[in-house]
Structure 1
Amino acid sequence: MGIPRKAWIIITVVIVCAVVAVIVGVVITSGTSSSTSTTDSDTSASSSGSTASSGGTSVTKKKTSKSTNSGSSSITSDPISVTYSLAAFAIGNWGTTVSQDSCCTRSSTYNDYDVNAEDIVANLMDQQAGSAEVAPKIIISHGDNFYWTGINSDDGRDTRFTTTFEDKYDGDNIKTIPWVNVLGNHDYGGADYICSDSDDGTAACFDSDELVTALKNKFEWQSTYTSPNDDRWVLEDHFYVYTIEDADSGVSIDIFNVDSGDADTHGALQTCCQCYGYAGDDDDACSNVVRGDDACCGGDTDMYDACMDQFTEWSDDSRTQLAASIANSTATWKIVNSHYNPYAHYAESGMQKWFDIINGSDVHLWLNGHTHGENHDYASSLGVHFVDNGAGGGIQKESASGIPTYAEDYVENLWVYDGTEYGFFSLAASEDWLKLQYHTADESWAYAESFNSTTVGGVATKHCWYVPNDGTYGQDCTSSSSSS
C-alpha cells in the first residue's frame, strides 16, 4: 500500500529538521573547543579554521598542507637559477664561560666536541664565509653572549670580550664583519644574582633601585663596547632596526632586533628571582620558584616586582616599535631577531601579542636562540618562517624546542636537527627567494681535549630551504625543479 502524499511531506520535514539540528550541534561544538598547553594554564583560542585575538589583529588558525613545493606561491622564478646578492650569518647561545665550564654542567655525559664547541663553530663560520659565493655582510646574534651572568663590571668588560669573543671569532674571513646583537637571559644575570661585587663577580642587591640599575648596567656594558676589529660589535638599543643592502641589485634586509626578556620560559621570572644566587647549592629549590619564595629575591616582593616591571617595559616598547617599524619598512626582506621564540618560549597570551604584530606584516623570518638546539617551523596563517638557532657552542647542546599545544593550529615543523652537534645558519637573499642553510661540522673532524689539538675538518650543510618572498611555504633545496 502506498504512503499518502501528506505523510511523505511530514516525513520529509522531520528528516530536514533532524539534519539541521545535527549541523548546528557540530558547529556549536567546534566553535567552543579548546586545547590546553601542558606547561601553561592559559587555554587556547578556538580550533582550526576560527580566529583568535587578544585585543589586536585577528589571526586565522590554519595549517598549511605539508608539501615540498611552493604550492600557491605567486613567485614563479626558480630558486636555483636566481642570483643571490646579499648574505648574512646567524648564531645563538655562543658565549662560553672563560673556563669553558658552561659547555658541560647540564649533563653527566659530554665530550671534547662539547668542551670546544665555540671554537669549532667559529672555525666553521670562517670556513663558510671564505667559500660562500656571497660573503656575509653581518652576523646576527640571538643573545646569551656571555655565560653565565653576562658582563659583571665596566672594569672587567674588555677582558671578557677579548677572551670569549674577539679571540674566538678571529678568522680572516669573519673578524671584521659586524655582529648585530640582542641580549639573552644569561646576559641579564641568568637566574643568579644580578648585582655585582667588587671582584667582577655577582652579589645580592640591597634594594629595588639597585637591582633595576644593575639590569640597566648589564645592557649598557655590552651596548657601549667598542671592538678593536672595525668596531664590529653592534647593540644600539633594546629595540633597533639594522639594514643591509646590495647596492647593485637593490636587494635589502631589515633586521628588527627586539628585547623579548618578558618571556615565560626561563625568562623574566627566573632572571628576577635570582634563585641560583639566593638558593645557594640547592638547585632543586629553583625548579618551581615563584614570587614570595625565600629563593626568589630572598622573599622581597617589591624587588621582584620592580625587576619584572622593567622587563615588561622593555618588551612592551619592543612590540610597539616593532609594529611601527615593520609598517614603515620598504626592505625586500624583513627579519625579526630575538632571544626567545614567540610560541615555544611564551604562554599563549604572550604568543598572541607577538602574533598580532607580525600577522599580515610581511615579516618573512623570525630568528631566535635560547633553546640550545636547531629547528625550522612555518606558520601559514602568518606567512612567517621561524628558526630556533641556539646550538652556537656557548653551552651544551640539547633537543630543539617543540610546538606547544596552543600553537599547533598555527605552526608546523619543517625540520629539526638530531641534537648531537653545534652550528649556525646562513641566509642568502635574492629579490624573490631567501635561502636558509644550517651548517655544522662534517665527519672529517677529530676532536681533542683542546682546540689546538683538534684535527680541523670541513663544513656540512644539513638543512637547506628556499623561502619565497610572498610568505608562502617554500621548498626544500633538493626539491627544486632545476636540482640535479
Structure 2
Amino acid sequence: CKQVVEWAAGGGKWDSSAGGWFHNMPSITGVHHEQGKLEDFQRLYYCSPPGDSFCGLPPCSGCSSPPCSDCFAGNQLYASLRPGCDGNDKGVGCVPPKTAMGYKGQHWPTTVVHGTQEMHIFAIGDWGGMDGSLDPPEGRPTIVAYDWGRRPGPSVFPRSRWNKMHDVEYCNHKQLVECFNTRGQAPCAPECGYVAGVDDEPQMLVANAFKARAALVDPQYILNVGDNFYWGGIEKTCGSPMDHISYPTKHQFDQIFEGVYQGAGLTNKPWFSVLGNHDWGGFKFDNGWDQQISYTWASNRWVMPAPYYKTSVVYADLGFDVDYFFLDSNFIDAMPPEEDPNHNMCSRKNNKASASCAAADGPESVDACPGWFASLWAEQKPWVTELMGQSKANWQIVVTHFPCGHEQDFYKSLRDLGMDLLVTGHRHDQELWLPDDYAKNHMGVTCIVTGGGGGITSEATPNPEETEDWYGEAQYGFYDLTISKSEIFIESINYDGEVLLTHTVHPSR
C-alpha cells in the first residue's frame, strides 16, 4: 500500500494515463487527482483501488475532505432513515435493525394502492449483471469475465449450457467466454448456442421490454426473486454497520439497478426483494449480502428488510388485499464444505479459512455454514405455516429464490392452507407451471420461474428455432400479473416484449 500510494501521489498522478486510473478521485476524496495529497491517494486505494494494489485501512487524518474513513468525499451515505420517514418512527419501515437478522419474520408496513384501474404486478429474477466498471476494495478482482466487460452498466455472466436433462454439457464457461470475446465468430463453438445481439445484452433487452410495458400498464410494484448482482453479490465482506452504505454497494446499485430500471411506470415503485444464492456470494457466504438489506433504508423503493419477512398490499378502492410471504430458500446451495465447490456457498475451496459473518448474525464459520442455512430454512417453515393459516386476505402469495420443484410437499401444505401462487427464480429461464402439470408439479398450485432477467446467460440457447432443451416458454423475460379480487391473469413476456403464454389463477379459498 505504502509504495503504490507514494508513487501515485508523486509522479503517478502526472502520468498521461492518470485521468483514467484515478477517475474516481473526486467522488471519493473530494479533489481532482492532480490536487490529491498522499492521504487522498491512500483513501482512494482503500475505497476503490485502481490496479492490483490496495490499502487495508484509510488514512487516520490529513485527507482533503474528512472524515477520511468514508468513501464519499466526506458525505457518507447513510441508511439510518428511509426516505419519506420523519425521524420519529422507529419501526421496521423507517430505521434499520442493529444486525441484518434483526427483522427476520417481521411485517413490512402495508402498502395501500388507490384507484380502480387495471392493477399490474411485475415479477423478475436473476437480473443483476456484473459491474465491470467497479474497482473493488479488499484486494478483490474486477468483476470482468470477457474482453469487453470492463465498462459501465451491467455485463452478463457467461454460464455453462447443458442439455435438458442436465447430464450432457454442451458448452462450458470458458467456451462461452470465447463466444463473448469473438461476439459469436469463430472459434466460438456452435454447441454453445450463442446468439449475438441477445446473449451479450440480455439484462438490457429484458429491461427495455420491462420499461416499455411499465409505461403502458403502470405496475404498482415489482416482485424480485433474487440473484440481484452477479457473480457474488455486493463486493464487500459482510459485517458493515447496518446504517452505512459502502462504496461498492452504492456503485453496484447505481450501475446495475438504479441506472437501469427507471422511467414511466417504474420510478419510485417498490421492489419487494429476496436474496438469491449469488447474493450471498455464489460459492462463498461472506460477501455483502447484509448491505443489500441495509440498502432498504437508503432507498425509497428497494425493500428487503430481512432474509425472510411478510407484507400486505391493500387495494383500497377495489375491495381486496394480498398477503405476501418472502422466504429464503438458499439452504439448497449450502452443502457440506467439501462438496461441489463451484455451486456451494459453504465451499471450503472458495471461502477463506477465517470466513465469518458472525458480526452480521450470519454463519460464523465455513463448518457452521450448512447448519446455519438449514436452521434458517427450518425456522421459516412453522413461521409461514402459522401466518398462512391465519391470513384473511383475498390472496396469499409466496416469493422465494429457488425454483418450482423444490420442497414440493411443503408448498403443497401451504396450498392446503390457502397459498394461491408461488413466485420463484434461480433457473435462468421463464417457466409457467400449471396445477395440472402432474408430471412435474405435485404442489397443486400455479408456480412461475422468472429467472430469465438477464444477469446471467440462459439455461439453453435463446434461439427460438432450437427449443428442444428449454424447460419453459422462454429463456429471457419477466412476468406481468394483472390482479383483481376474482383472478390473477399471468402473462409471460419475452425479452422482445412478445406475450408468449398466459394463465388465469383463481383464489384457492
* Structure 1 and Structure 2 fold alike (TM over 0.5): yes
Measured against aligned partners, the alpha-carbon deviations of 1:316-341 in whole angstroms (never above 9, x if no partner) come to: 12212111221222221111100013
Q: 1:355, CA displacement in angstroms?
A: 3.3
Match of 1:174 among 253, 258, 266: 266
Match of 1:88 in 2: 121
Q: 1:121 aligns with which of 206, 213, 219?
A: 206
The correspondence of residues 328-339 of structure 1 with structure 2, limited to 5 A, is: 328-339=390-401
Q: Is the CA contact (8 Å cut-off) linking 2:232 and 2:280 kept in structure 1?
A: yes
- The amino acid that maps onto 1:138 is Y
Instruction: Please give the alpha-carbon distance, in whole angstroms, between the structure 1 residues aligned to 2:446 and 2:472.
Output: 16
SS at match of 1:438: strand
2:49 matched residue in structure 1: none
Which residue identity lines up with residue 249 of structure 1 in the other structure? Answer: L
**Which moved further from structure 2: 179-188 or 219-228?**
219-228
CA deviations on 1:351-398 (whole Å, 9 max, x unpaired) are 434433x14111011010000011111345744111111001111011
The answer to whether structure 1 residue 365 and structure 2 residue 435 are counterparts is no
Return the alpha-carbon distance in structure 1 between the equivalents of residues 446 and 198 of structure 2: 30
Report if aligned partners of 1:85, 1:249 keep a CA contact under 8 Å in 2.
no
**What is the root-mean-square deviation of aligned Cα atoms in Å?**
3.1
Alignment of 1:260 with 2:357, yes or no, is: no
1:427: how far off? 0.8
**Alignment match, 2:372:** 310
Tell me, in whole angstroms, the C-alpha distance in 1 between the residues paired with 2:499 and 2:483.
Answer: 17
Q: Does 1:462 align with 2:500?
A: yes
Residues 225/298 of structure 1: CA separation in 2 closer, same or farther (3 Å cut): closer
Instruction: Tell me, yes or no, if structure 1 residue 150 matches structure 2 residue 242.
Output: no
Amino acid at match of 2:479: F
Q: Which residue does 1:38 correspond to in 2? A: none
The one-letter amino acid paired with 1:333 is W
Distance 1:122 1:246 in 2: 27
Give SS of 2:330's match: coil
Within the alignment, does 1:130 sit opposite 2:210 as a pair?
A: no
Whether 1:319 and 2:376 are equivalent positions in the alignment is no
Quote the offset at 1:98 in angstroms.
1.3
Equivalent residue, structure 1, for 2:47: none
The match for 1:235 is 304
Which residue of structure 2 lines up, in the alignment, with residue 451 of structure 1? none
- Retained in 1: the 8 A contact 2:397–2:420? yes
**What do the CA deviations read for 1:52-102 (whole angstroms, capped 9, x no partner)?**
xxxxxxxxxxxxxxxxxxxxxxxxxxxxxxx87432100010000013554
- Could you tell me which amino acid in structure 2 is paired with residue 463 of structure 1? L
Mapped to 2, the partners of 1:123 and 1:253 lie a distance apart of 28
Which residue identity is paired with 1:308?
Answer: P
Larger Cα-atom Rg:
1
Whether contact under 8 Å (1:84, 1:430) holds in the other structure is no
Distance change in 2, residues 1:144/1:330 (3 Å): same
Residue correspondence of structure 1 range 157-236 to structure 2 within 5 A = 157-191=249-283, 193-194=284-285, 214=286, 218-226=288-296, 231-236=300-305
The percentage of counterpart residues that share the same residue type is: 27
Tell me by how many angstroms 1:138 deviates: 0.9
Q: Work out the CA distance in 1 between the residues paired with 2:210 and 2:126.
A: 15
1:140-171 superposed Cα distances (whole Å, 9 cap, x missing partner): 00010010111122331111100111001122
Partner of 1:427: 481
Shift of 1:226: 4.8
Q: Distance in 2 between matches of 1:240 and 1:316?
A: 14
Deviations 1:390-442 (A, max 9, x none): 00111101149xxxxxxxxxxxxxx96455x4110011112211100011244
Partner-residue secondary structure (3-state), 2:275 = coil
Alpha-carbon distance change, 250 to 383 in structure 1, aligned in 2, over 3 angstroms: farther
Shift of residue 305, structure 1, vs aligned partner: 3.3
TM-superposition CA deviations, 1:272-322 (whole Å, max 9, x none):
66966xxxxxxxxx58x899x974768999944300121112211221211
Q: Deviations over 1:103-134 (max 9, x none)?
A: 434353432212211112111111111212xx
Q: Is the helix fraction higher in 1 or 2?
A: 1
Query: Given the superposition, is the C-alpha separation of residues 390 and 320 from structure 1 closer, same or farther in structure 2, using an over 3 Å criterion?
Result: same
Q: Is the 8 A contact 2:156 2:201 kept in 1?
A: no
- Counterpart in 1 of 2:409? 352
Find the residue that maps to 1:308 and give its secondary structure.
helix
Aligned partner of residue 129 in structure 1, secondary structure:
helix
**Structure 1 residue 262: Cα displacement:** 1.2
2: CA distance, partners of 1:296 / 1:104: 19
More relative contact order, 1 or 2 (CA 8 Å, 6+ apart): 1
- TM-score normalised to structure 1 length: 0.58
Give 2:130's match in structure 1, choosing from 65, 79, 97. Answer: 97
Partner of residue 448, structure 2: 387
Q: Is the 8 A contact 2:494 2:500 kept in 1?
A: yes
